[in-house]
Each structure stands twice: as C-alpha cells, then as structure tokens.
C-alpha cells in the first residue's frame, strides 16, 4: 500500500530501485519504503531523537571537513539544514514509526535523505548524497546509539532536572512555612509518635534531591558516544581522529561534556548506560508515587478521612455526587509512576537482547526512556503548579489527631517502663479514656507528675 497526504509525487531511487515519494516532502526512497512497510501503531520516532541526529550530522560534517574528507560547501550545506531541523522548520519530514528496524537504520536514513534533499534545494544542484555525503564516516550502527545518548542527556538537562528542582524548591518553601507545626506520625498506617510537619516535608524534599543526584550521576555514562565505531565497532571507513573530533564538536555544539567511548564494541552492543540512567528515573517515579500517596492520604476527607492538609480544589470529582472534589493531581502523578515502572522493564529487556556486535532493540528502548523522562517532567510541573504549591496545613485537625494518639504514651517509657506504658495505652483505648486518666487509674503516676513529663509537642527531637 502507499501512504501519503498528497496526490503529487516525484520519483526517487535507492539501491533497490525506484520509489514514488510525496512531492512536498524532502525524504527519499528509503524513508518511503519504511513508511509503507511498517504501518504499525501510532508511535513515531521521538522529536528528541531527530534533533539529536541533527546535532551529530552537523558535527560529523564539520569534523569531516577538518579532516579533509569533505569540502567546505557541502559541510556548510549540511550544517545549515541541521540548524533548520533544530529550529523546527522541517517538521513533517520525519514520519517513521518506532516499530521499524531495531538498529534505527531507517530513521538514520530518513534524516540523511531530508538533509540531502533540502540541502540540494538550497544549493540549486545535487551536491549532497544521503549516504556518500550526509552519512560520510558513519553507520546507522554508531549514529543511532549516539543520537540516543545525546537525546537522553538533552531531555534530562532541559526538561526533567529543571522540573525536579522547581518541585524541590516548593517543598523547601513549605518546609519553612510549617516549622513548629506538630502532628501525629504514622507507621504501618497506624498512629506513631509525633513529628513536625516540616520534618515530614523535609523527607519529601530529600527524596527529590537524592533522585536528582542519582540522575546527574547517571549522565556520566550517557556522555560517552559510539560515533566512530561505524558498522561493528572497528571504525571501518572512518578516518583517524574522526571519533575524537566529532565527540569534541558535539560537546561544543551542545555545551555538554560528551566524549568518545573508548571501546566501540561495547558502545554498539551494550545499552547499560541507558538502563542505569532509567533506573534513576524509576527511583524518581517510586518516590513521586510515595509523595503523591502521602499527600492524598493526608488530604483525605473532608470529614471522614485524615484531613490534616488542604490541597487546591481544581475540578468537580464526581458525575453523581455533588460537591465532591478528588486529589486528581496525585492520581495523575501515580499513573505516570506506574507507566515509568513499566517502561523500566521494557528498557531493561531491550538492553539485554543485543546479539554479537549490535543491539537491535534500540528504537523501543529510547522511545520508552524518553517517554519516561518527559512524563516525569510534565507530571512534576503539573503536580507542583496545581497541587503542592497550594498545600496548607489544617493545624486544628493536626492538633486534634495528635492529642488523640495513643502512641504519645511512648514519652512515658523512661518514667514507668515499656510494659506499664503499654498497659496504659490498651486501657485508654479499651475504655475510651485519656492516657492521663489511664495512667493515674493504674497508679503509675500522679496527675501532677503526668503533666510534668507529658509534652507531645516536645517529642519531635
């Protein structure tokens, strides 16, 4: 079958023969073959990968020129078109599905063909060939893993880490605002000894900060680039100095410390750096799941739940129960966390399937990685903006719950011992009386001595 949004065509050719290609697109025969042969799903190669390809193709052309493999005019044409791709001027020319060849060859050729087609249009003559010019000194087997690393670092630095830091900043503000507010702690979903609300928030804040450290640490492996290994890691058809030169140029273009991977056989077949990095994303997802669940538990109610915090009321919560409002931002965050945890399984399994000199599960791996990073960034932005920034302590409810907690009896351990304190708690619970009444009735302390030693607000350390 033929796919295309136009009835106007032009004829292109590749090593397998001629193909009709939409006249208003810059791609060539190999892209068209993939477009027609892989009508699978709706998932397209992520834009982040296309932009990463533009960076590496520009860097490759500049390096080939420095090494006297390419003339200045061709190198400048390639660089000019790559800049157009990065500026979004050629959107609509990258139609290929994620579900294609596992090496990503067809997306590499899609970028090569678009650069050649647009470059030749600018030049007014056919100066660029997709393989001989744009793909010079390269193979799909080293360009696609290079694009994966560039895209992963870019999405972490430009999307995820800023969103994480913004949410952590909000937690820092809430922490300061709630110093001195004491509430009941909880373990095993049961009452525990008191905690300051600021201490509870500090736990959330530290969870985010720790994940940020883990994610930044994982970037070290992503900075190492496969480019220069060509087909199987030997560097066939790449000139001496190309691998080092192109990594240096990518670093200059992006402002990030990319370097060439020393062992290209590892770079082509192993995807452990992405697995490691996605593990840090999974850790963030796990912590966001915990934080969002804490928030919705603490906000549960408004009358029959804990009700210790108030969160923004953003939309009606029920189509049948008037006035109901739900913790929808928390639910969105936890669904994203579930997706990221599922993606982690896909990333790990894809990385485990490399055979001999090449991993051929790369498109699905990077699709899941980038989806996780983007979802987490967007979810944190939404959670921060529409929920966390508006959290307010319900101090009256916190005070009430604190003073009803039987676990305050822990403060009496130094005075009456663990077993006697346990008897007080059980008696108070069974007879629905206060800890003070139970302690006095059991003869462990006088009322006056109880008041001297029992100060719940001072139990937070």
Q: What is the DSSP letter of 157?
A: I
Whole-number Å distance between alpha carbons of 399 and 408:
13
How far apart CA 8 and CA 95 sit, in angstroms, is: 17
Which token pair is 395?
């101090």
In three-state secondary structure terms, 309 is strand
| Rounded CA separation 286/207 (Å) | 10
Contact 227, 260 (CB under 8 A): yes
d(CA 409, CA 193): 9
Whole-number Å distance between alpha carbons of 158 and 253:
15
Strand 259-260 with 224-225, pairing? parallel
What does the angle CA 296 – CA 300 – CA 302 come to, to the nearest 5 degrees? 140
Contacts of 257 (CB under 8 A, 6+ apart): 223, 251
Kind and range of the H or E element at 217?
helix 197-222
Nearest to 298, CA basis, from 163, 168, 204: 204
DSSP 97: B
From residue 449, alpha-carbon distances to 59, 95, 429 in Å are 78, 78, 21
Nearest to 107 by CA among 27, 2, 26, 31: 31
- Residue position matching structure tokens 């190309």: 242
d(CA 115, CA 119): 6
Which residues form the catalytic set?
188, 318
CA angle in degrees (0–180, nearest 5) for 119-124-129: 45
Question: What token pair was written down for 339?
Answer: 């997706």
Q: Is 113 helix (H, G, I), strand (E, B) or coil?
A: helix
C-alpha to C-alpha distance for 324 and 317, rounded to whole angstroms:
5
Tokens of 455: 């100060």
Distance CA 263, CA 217 (A): 21
């Amino acid at each position: 079958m033929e796919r295309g949004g136009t009835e106007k065509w032009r004829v292109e050719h590749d090593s397998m023969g001629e193909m009709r290609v939409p006249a208003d697109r810059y791609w060539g025969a190999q892209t068209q073959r993939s477009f027609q042969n892989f009508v699978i799903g709706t998932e397209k190669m992520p834009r982040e990968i296309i932009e990463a390809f533009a960076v590496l193709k520009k860097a490759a052309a500049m390096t080939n020129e420095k090494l006297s493999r390419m003339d200045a005019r061709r190198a400048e044409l390639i660089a000019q078109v790559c800049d157009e791709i990065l500026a979004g001027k050629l959107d609509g020319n990258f139609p290929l599905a994620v579900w294609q060849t596992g090496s990503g060859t067809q997306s590499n050729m899609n970028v090569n063909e678009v650069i050649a087609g647009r470059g030749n249009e600018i030049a007014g003559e056919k100066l660029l060939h997709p393989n001989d010019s744009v793909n010079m000194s390269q193979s799909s087997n080293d360009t696609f893993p290079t694009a994966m690393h560039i895209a992963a670092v870019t999405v972490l630095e430009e999307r995820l880490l800023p969103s994480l830091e913004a949410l952590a900043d909000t937690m820092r503000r809430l922490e300061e605002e709630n110093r001195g507010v004491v509430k009941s702690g909880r373990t095993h979903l049961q009452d525990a000894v008191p905690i300051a609300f600021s201490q509870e928030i500090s736990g959330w804040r530290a969870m985010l900060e720790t994940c940020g450290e883990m994610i930044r640490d994982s970037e070290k492996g992503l900075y190492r680039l496969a480019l220069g290994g060509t087909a199987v890691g030997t560097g066939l058809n790449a000139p001496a100095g190309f691998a080092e030169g192109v990594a240096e140029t990518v670093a200059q273009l992006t402002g990030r410390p990319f370097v060439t991977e020393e062992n290209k056989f590892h770079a082509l077949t192993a995807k452990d750096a992405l697995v490691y990095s996605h593990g840090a994303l999974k850790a963030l997802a796990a912590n966001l799941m915990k934080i969002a669940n804490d928030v919705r538990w603490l906000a549960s109610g408004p009358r029959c739940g804990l009700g210790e915090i108030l969160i923004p009321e953003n939309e009606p919560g029920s189509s049948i129960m008037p006035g109901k409002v739900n913790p929808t931002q928390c639910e969105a965050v936890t669904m994203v966390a579930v997706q990221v945890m599922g993606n982690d399984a896909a990333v790990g399994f894809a990385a485990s399937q490399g055979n001999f000199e090449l991993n051929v599960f790369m498109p699905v791996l990077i699709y899941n990685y980038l989806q996780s990073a983007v979802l987490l960034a967007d979810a944190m932005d939404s959670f921060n903006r529409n929920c966390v920034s508006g959290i307010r302590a319900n101090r009256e409810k916190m005070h009430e719950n604190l003073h009803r907690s039987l676990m305050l009896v822990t403060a009496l351990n130094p005075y009456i011992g663990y077993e006697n304190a346990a008897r007080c708690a059980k008696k108070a619970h069974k007879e629905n009386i206060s800890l003070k009444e139970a302690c006095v009735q059991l003869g462990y302390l006088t009322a006056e001595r109880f008041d001297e030693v029992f100060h719940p607000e001072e139990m937070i350390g």
